[in-house]
């Protein structure tokens, strides 16, 4: 091959659970836009100097597919998001072919209402879809990322849908990211499977707005020796997430991570609650208010109020792309188990990890150095999905 010709990087799969939702569509559209040079990588930490020379797969090497229970094609979904101001108005037309290519790789998920398939049958079906995707597209590896709507916390031994998909990811030999507060690999019966899989995984519940701010403000009060008496919050949001969180059980799962950040950073749980209200008219936009009552010197009572307004999908999509690239690189480097250093991205991170954003960023920087070290010591063979993974992992 002439020296002027470069070998394209190996392709890496990103298999999205909830592949036709707002977050997934925004991530696919954003990746296409950045690859084409139409937009800068604002919000992608993996595109900052922190991760230079760590061997991450290029954005252009990512191939998208996934599962969903809806049938609205990605180009149409992107048009709706552009009409709502989530995507640039002309972007869906510019990247129609990329959206259509990703849509062709989306398979029907489940379970549906009245679905008679057993848990093992569903897991086997999901696993086969992922393995087929990797094989047909000639991928070196694939990362499974859950960006589906929040589900209620499980009340019995049966695996909820998020845990079925998580099991399928491990069976297919794929690293797994739970970007939602849903159960995923957190189900007690999956602990042994996760530990024995030899795969890296991360989660849960992407930290994009209110909790991101709390992870900064909580340590500030603690470090300045200011006593927080009460911390109350309200979230107004619409879209699919708002509808899903209208279920009190789903909202409780979401709020657990928000509460953990305050307890961990303040050293105790302050008075007050966080409410989530579904406002369909807001669509993909959300508003979060916090009211913080605290005591200063000589018991002087004071209040801090914050308002966060943002587009949830635009906040989440770059983090999803970051995590897909980081898990793919971790898999290539042979890292296994929960990646605690990625707590920076989550409200309720797996494993023992700090909750303060500054400490989490320090850990993330350490992870970047860890990846550089593996690159410097390169020589291990490329590892794709394990050919024996599907025979080792069964349903709980």
Domain that holds residue 84: 12-206+314-392
Question: Which of 311, 341, 363 marks a domain boundary?
Answer: 311
Which region, left, alpha or beta, applies to residue 267 given φ > 0 means left and ψ of -120 to 50 means alpha? Answer: left
Q: Which CATH number is 103's domain given?
A: 3.40.50.720
**What does the pLDDT average to over 234-254?**
75
Report yes or no on 280 lying in a domain: yes
Cβ–Cβ under 8 Å, residues 22 and 284: yes
Coil, strand or helix at 141 = strand
Is the predicted pLDDT of residue 361 greater than 80, yes or no? Answer: yes
Distance CA 97, CA 300 (A): 61
Gyration radius of the chain over CA positions? 21
Report yes or no on 3 lying in a domain: no
Residues 68 and 165 in one domain: yes
Cβ–Cβ under 8 Å, residues 175 and 47: no
Residues 72 and 122 in one domain: yes
Report yes or no on 298 lying in a domain: yes
Distance CA 178, CA 203 (A): 5
Pair of tokens at residue 389: 């993974």
Burial class (CB in 10 A: 0-12, 13-18, 19+), 340: middle
Residues 41 and 187 in one domain: yes
Which region, left, alpha or beta, applies to residue 75 given φ > 0 means left and ψ of -120 to 50 means alpha? Answer: alpha
Report yes or no on 159 lying in a domain: yes
The number of distinct structural domains making up the chain is: 2
Question: Which of 218-222, 240-244, 272-276, 298-302 comes out lowest in average pLDDT?
Answer: 240-244
Distance CA 8, CA 25 (A): 25
Residues 64 and 143 in one domain: yes
Residues 254 and 166 in one domain: no
Report yes or no on 6 lying in a domain: no
pLDDT tens digits, residue range 364-386? 999 999 999 987 655 444 444 44
Instruction: Categorize the per-residue pLDDT at 395 as very low, low, confident or very high, splitting at 50, 70 and 90.
Output: very low
Is the predicted pLDDT of residue 329 greater than 90, yes or no? Answer: yes
User: What is residue 352's predicted lDDT score, i.e. its pLDDT?
Assistant: 84
User: What is residue 383's predicted lDDT score, i.e. its pLDDT?
Assistant: 43
Residues 102 and 226 in one domain: no
Residues 223 and 333 in one domain: no
User: What is residue 389's predicted lDDT score, i.e. its pLDDT?
Assistant: 34
Tell me the percentage of the chain whose pLDDT exceeds 90. Answer: 75
Residues 303 and 318 in one domain: no
Residues 194 and 67 in one domain: yes
Distance CA 286, CA 278 (A): 10
User: What is residue 255's predicted lDDT score, i.e. its pLDDT?
Assistant: 67
User: What is residue 2's predicted lDDT score, i.e. its pLDDT?
Assistant: 53
Residues 331 and 302 in one domain: no
User: What is residue 256's predicted lDDT score, i.e. its pLDDT?
Assistant: 72
Higher pLDDT, 254 or 110: 110
Q: Which CATH number is 275's domain given?
A: 3.30.360.10
Distance CA 205, CA 182 (A): 8
Residues 198 and 328 in one domain: yes
Distance CA 381, CA 256 (A): 41
Instruction: Categorize the per-residue pLDDT at 394 as very low, low, confident or very high, splitting at 50, 70 and 90.
Output: very low
């Amino acid at each position: 091959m002439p020296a002027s010709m470069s070998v394209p990087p190996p392709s890496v799969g990103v298999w999205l659970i909830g592949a036709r939702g707002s977050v997934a569509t925004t991530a696919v559209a954003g990746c296409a836009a950045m690859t084409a040079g139409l937009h800068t990588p604002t919000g992608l930490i993996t595109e900052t100097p922190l991760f230079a020379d760590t061997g991450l797969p290029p954005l252009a090497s990512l191939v998208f597919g996934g599962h969903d229970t809806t049938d609205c094609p990605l180009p149409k979904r992107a048009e709706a998001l552009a009409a709502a101001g989530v995507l640039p108005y002309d972007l869906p037309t510019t990247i129609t072919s990329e959206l259509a290519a990703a849509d062709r790789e989306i398979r029907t998920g489940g379970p549906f209402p009245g679905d008679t398939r057993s848990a093992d049958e569903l897991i086997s079906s999901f696993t086969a879809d992922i393995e087929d995707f990797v094989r047909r597209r000639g991928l070196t590896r694939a990362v499974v990322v859950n960006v589906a709507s929040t589900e209620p916390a499980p009340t019995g031994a049966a695996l909820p849908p998020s845990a079925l998909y998580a099991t399928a990811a491990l069976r297919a030999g794929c690293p797994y990211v739970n970007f939602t507060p849903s159960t995923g690999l957190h189900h007690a019966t999956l602990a042994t499977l996760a530990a024995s899989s030899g795969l890296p995984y991360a989660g849960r519940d992407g930290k994009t707005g209110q909790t991101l701010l709390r992870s900064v403000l909580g340590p500030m009060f603690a470090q300045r020796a200011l006593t927080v008496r009460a911390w109350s919050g309200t979230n107004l949001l619409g879209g699919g997430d708002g509808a899903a969180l209208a279920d009190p059980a789903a909202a409780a799962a979401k709020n657990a991570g928000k509460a953990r950040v305050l307890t961990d950073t303040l050293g105790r749980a302050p008075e007050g609650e966080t409410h989530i209200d579904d406002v369909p008219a807001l669509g993909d936009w959300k508003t979060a208010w916090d009211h913080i009552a605290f005591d200063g010197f000589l018991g002087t009572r004071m209040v801090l109020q914050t308002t966060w307004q943002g587009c949830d999908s635009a906040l989440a999509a770059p983090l999803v792309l970051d995590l897909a690239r980081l898990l793919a690189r971790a898999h290539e480097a042979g890292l296994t188990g929960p990646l605690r250093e990625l707590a920076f991205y989550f409200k309720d991170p797996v494993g023992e990890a700090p909750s303060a954003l500054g400490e989490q960023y320090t850990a993330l920087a350490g992870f970047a150095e860890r990846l550089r070290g593996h690159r410097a010591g390169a020589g291990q063979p490329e590892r794709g999905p394990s050919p024996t993974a599907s025979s080792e992992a069964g349903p709980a």
